[in-house]
Amino acid sequence: MRGWPDVPRASPRAVLLALGLVAALCIALFMTLGVQGSWAFVLPFRAGKVATMLLVACAIAVSTVLFQTATGNRILTPAIMGFDSLYVLIQTCLVFFMGSAAMAAADRRLTFAGETAAMVLFSALLHWVLFSTARRSLHMLVLAGVVLGVLFRSLAAFLQRVIDPNEFAFLQDRFFASFNNPHGGLLMVSALAMLGAALLGLRAMRSWDVLALGRETAIGLGVAHRREVTRIMAIVAVLVSVSTALVGPVTFLGLLVANLAYAVMPSFRHVHVLPAAILLAVISLVGGQMLLERVFAFDTNLRVIIDFLGGLTFIALLLRGRVR
C-alpha cells in the first residue's frame, strides 16, 4: 500500500473528538428513542444497560489492543487464545461441584472476585512456565493458549453434558447474560476491578509504545520487556473476567474494534489508539443494541451481529495479508 506523502492527515485529537461525538449520540439516542410510559422507570433501566455496555466496551477494547501489543500480532485476541473459555470452564466447575443452589446463594461479587483471581493466577502460571522454558516464548505462549482454549472449551462442554439439566439451565443463563439484564452489584465490582487495572496500566502507557517495536528493539531501548508483558497479561486477565462475567464471551468484538482503531487513528501511540478502540466499541455495542431493539425488535442477539461483522473483518484481514 503506497501512500501519498502530501495528503494532509487528520490529527489524532480530531479523530477522537469525532468518535466521541458519535458515541455520545448513540448513547443519547439509545436512552431516549421510543420511550413509552414513565420516564422515571425507563431512564434508570436503560442507564443500567448503557453502564454495562460501557464497561464491556472498555474491557474488550483495551484487553485486545494490549494483547496485540504484547504479542506483536494483529489477529490474535484474548478470546481466540481461550481466555474467556477458561472463565466459562471455571464457572462450569463451580456449578458442577458446588451445585447451582450454593452458587445462587453465594454473593456474586465474592464469586466474581474469586474467579478473577483464578484467571490472573492461571495466566501468570502459563506465562511463567513458558517464559522460563521456551526461548521463542511469545509464540509458544500463543500456540499453547490456542490449544488450551480448545481444551477448556471441550472440558466445559463435557461437564455441561453430564450435569443435571436444571443446573445446565442455570449455567446457560449465566453465560448468556446478555446486555438486557445487568446485575447491579456486579457492575460496581467490575468498575472497581477496571479502575485497578487502569491504575496498574496508566504509568506504563509510554513503554507500551516501545513494546510495539518488538522485543529486541524494546530491550535495546531499555524497556524491561518481560515485566511489561507480564503486566499486560495480568491486566488482560482482569479485563476478560470483567467482560465475560457481565455478558458472556464475545469473540470478535475485540478484533473488530482494535483493527478499526488502527485504521482510523493516524497515530501509533496507546494514548490515542486505546481511547479510539474504546469509543469504537461503545459505538458498536450501543449502536448495535439500538438496531437490535428498534429495527430487529429483539429477534436476534447482539452477539450474533457483532460476531458476524467481526468475522468478516477477520477474513478481510487474512485476505489482505496484513497479518504478522
Partner 1 sequence: MIEALGVTCRYGATVVVDDVTLRLPAGGITSIIGPNGAGKSSLLSVISRLLPAASGRVLVDGMDVAVTPGDVLARRLSSLRQDNHLPARLTVRDLVAFGRYPHSKGRPTAADRPHVERAISYLGLEAQADRFLDELSGGQRQRAFIAMVLCQDTDYVLLDEPLNNLDMRHAVAIMRLLRRAATELGKTIVLVLHDLNFASCHSDRIVAMREGRVVMQGPPEAIMRPEALREIFDIEASVHEIGGDRIAVFYR
Q: Rule CB under 8 A: say whether 268 interacts with partner 1.
A: yes
Q: Report how far residue 121's alpha carbon sits from residue 234's, in angstroms, rounded to the nearest whole number.
A: 9
Report residue 55 CA to chain centroid gap: 10
Among 122, 170, 176, 262, binds partner 1 (CB under 8 A): 262
Stretch that binds partner 1, among 140-148, 156-164, 184-192, 263-271 (CB under 8 A): 263-271
Shortest approach of partner 1 to residue 314 CB, angstroms? 17
Q: Report how far residue 208's alpha carbon sits from residue 201's, in angstroms, rounded to the nearest whole number.
A: 9
Shortest approach of partner 1 to residue 1 CB, angstroms? 7
Residue with cell 453465560: 175
Ordered alpha helix ranges (H), the chain: 12-32, 39-71, 83-98, 100-105, 108-133, 137-162, 165-175, 184-202, 205-211, 215-220, 225-247, 253-264, 270-290, 302-320
SS (H, E, C) 206-220: HHHHHHCCCHHHHHH
Q: Rule CB under 8 A: say whether 135 interacts with partner 1.
A: yes
Q: Report how far residue 59's alpha carbon sits from residue 54's, in angstroms, rounded to the nearest whole number.
A: 9
Q: Rule CB under 8 A: say whether 210 interacts with partner 1.
A: yes
Q: Which amino acid is at 67?
A: F
Q: Rule CB under 8 A: say whether 267 interacts with partner 1.
A: yes
| Whether 249 contacts 84, CB under 8 Å | yes
What mask, x for binding partner 1 by CB under 8 A, covers residues 40 to 79? --------------------------------x-------
Among 84, 167, 209, 293, binds partner 1 (CB under 8 A): 209
Q: Rule CB under 8 A: say whether 265 interacts with partner 1.
A: yes
Residue with cell 491486566: 235
Q: Rule CB under 8 A: say whether 320 interacts with partner 1.
A: no
Shortest approach of partner 1 to residue 207 CB, angstroms? 7
Stretch that binds partner 1, among 38-46, 80-88, 89-97, 262-270 (CB under 8 A): 262-270
Q: Rule CB under 8 A: say whether 10 interacts with partner 1.
A: no
Q: Rule CB under 8 A: say whether 222 interacts with partner 1.
A: yes
Report residue 74: phi and psi, to 5°: -100, 5
Q: Report how far residue 179's alpha carbon sits from residue 160's, in angstroms, rounded to the nearest whole number.
A: 23
Q: Which is nearer to partner 1, 153 or 322 (CB)?
A: 322
Among 117, 219, 316, 318, binds partner 1 (CB under 8 A): 219
List contacts with partner 1 (CB under 8 A): 1-3, 5, 72, 135, 206-207, 209-210, 212-217, 219-225, 262, 265-268, 322, 324
